[in-house]
């Protein structure tokens, strides 16, 4: 269970009081929609973007991603107006995508962590108004509105430490009393910059080595693997 998992990684089970979860690519399988939206919208403006680039830039502002593509592919600086226009196109395509399904294994992991008495906190760069309702519908009785950090709560998003520091503050715990669960390089950097043990779930196409290079303390291939580690009970003794 979660306490065995913590011990295995040199953390003190009694000290750990909260788990800070990223949302896209961790609790919801929403990255395929972002990949589609980026590819379709960029193509309309003569730009191309690979799956890897979408995952690498996850957490970065849309403007930042577009400005980098224009610099790289058109050899010039982007204007604010065109970034605005192109980003709006990306959002329009994204909004036509089907609702992202829950990440397999996430419910089991959340329930096991909650049952062990730890707080579950959301730390996302997303700013959707309906975020809490969707979370609460999909994962009932796990999250509270008070224990959520969204785009509205921070000035400097991931990879800066502010989102995770805010998560710690909202949960009333210190950095060494929490762990982070992330999937993206910028999110991992944010968790580590906040001084927190960071578990990476490699739910995209990037290499594990890249997630380690971003600072991940440990990398697992997917959420079911993590769920199994935190929810399995010790074998009964014969
Ligand atoms: Ca993410």
- 237: pLDDT confidence band, cut at 50, 70 and 90? low
* Helix H or strand E encompassing 119: strand 119-123
> Where is pLDDT greater, at 63 or 187?
187
Quote the CA–CA distance of 153 and 179 in Å, as a whole number.
Answer: 20
Q: What is the DSSP letter of 122?
A: E
Q: Which pLDDT does position 5 carry in this prediction? A: 84
Cβ partners under 8 Å of residue 64, min gap 6: 57
Q: Which two tokens stand for residue 1?
A: 């269970």
Asked whether the predicted pLDDT for residue 66 surpasses 90, the reply is yes
Distance 24 CA to ligand 1 centre (A): 4
Distance 188 CA to ligand 1 centre (A): 9
Asked whether the predicted pLDDT for residue 216 surpasses 80, the reply is yes
Distance 43 CA to ligand 1 centre (A): 24
Instruction: Tokens 């036509």: give the residue.
Output: 96
Q: Residue 197: beta bridge partners?
A: 179
Distance 234 CA to ligand 1 centre (A): 31
Q: What is the pLDDT of residues 147-162, one digit of tens each?
A: 999 988 988 889 999 9
Asked whether the predicted pLDDT for residue 234 surpasses 60, the reply is no
Regarding beta strands 119-123 and 148-149, do their DSSP bridges make them parallel or antiparallel, or are they unpaired? Answer: parallel
Distance 101 CA to ligand 1 centre (A): 14
Q: Which pLDDT does position 63 carry in this prediction? A: 86
Instruction: Tokens 């949960």: give the residue.
Output: 171
Q: Which pLDDT does position 15 carry in this prediction? A: 87
Distance 186 CA to ligand 1 centre (A): 9
Distance 219 CA to ligand 1 centre (A): 14
- Cα-only R_g, the chain: 18
Distance 235 CA to ligand 1 centre (A): 33
Distance 172 CA to ligand 1 centre (A): 23
Q: Which pLDDT does position 238 carry in this prediction? A: 54
Distance 87 CA to ligand 1 centre (A): 19
Q: Which pLDDT does position 6 carry in this prediction? A: 85
Percent of the chain with pLDDT over 70: 97
Asked whether the predicted pLDDT for residue 8 surpasses 60, the reply is yes
């Amino acid at each position: 269970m979660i306490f065995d998992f913590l011990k295995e990684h040199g953390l003190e089970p009694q000290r750990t009081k909260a788990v800070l979860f990223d949302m896209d690519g961790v609790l919801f399988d929403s990255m395929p929609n972002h990949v589609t939206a980026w590819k379709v919208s960029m193509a309309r403006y003569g730009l191309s973007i690979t799956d890897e680039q979408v995952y690498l830039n996850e957490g970065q502002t849309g403007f930042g991603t577009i400005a980098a593509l224009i610099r790289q592919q058109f050899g010039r600086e982007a204007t604010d107006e065109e970034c605005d226009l192109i980003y709006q196109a990306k959002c329009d395509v994204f909004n036509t995508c089907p609702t992202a399904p829950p990440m397999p294994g996430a419910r089991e992991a959340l329930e096991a962590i909650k049952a062990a008495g730890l707080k579950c906190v959301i730390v996302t760069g997303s700013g959707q108004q309906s975020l809490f309702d969707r979370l609460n519908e999909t994962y009932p009785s796990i999250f509270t509105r008070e224990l959520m950090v969204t785009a509205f709560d921070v000035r400097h998003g991931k990879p800066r430490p502010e989102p995770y520091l805010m998560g710690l503050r909202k949960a009333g715990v210190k950095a060494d009393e929490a762990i982070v669960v992330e999937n993206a390089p910028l999110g991992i950097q944010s968790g580590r910059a906040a001084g927190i043990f960071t578990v990476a779930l490699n739910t995209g196409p990037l290499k594990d080595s890249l997630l380690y290079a971003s600072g991940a303390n440990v990398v697992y291939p997917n959420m079911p693997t993590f769920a199994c580690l935190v929810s399995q009970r010790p074998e009964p003794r014969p």
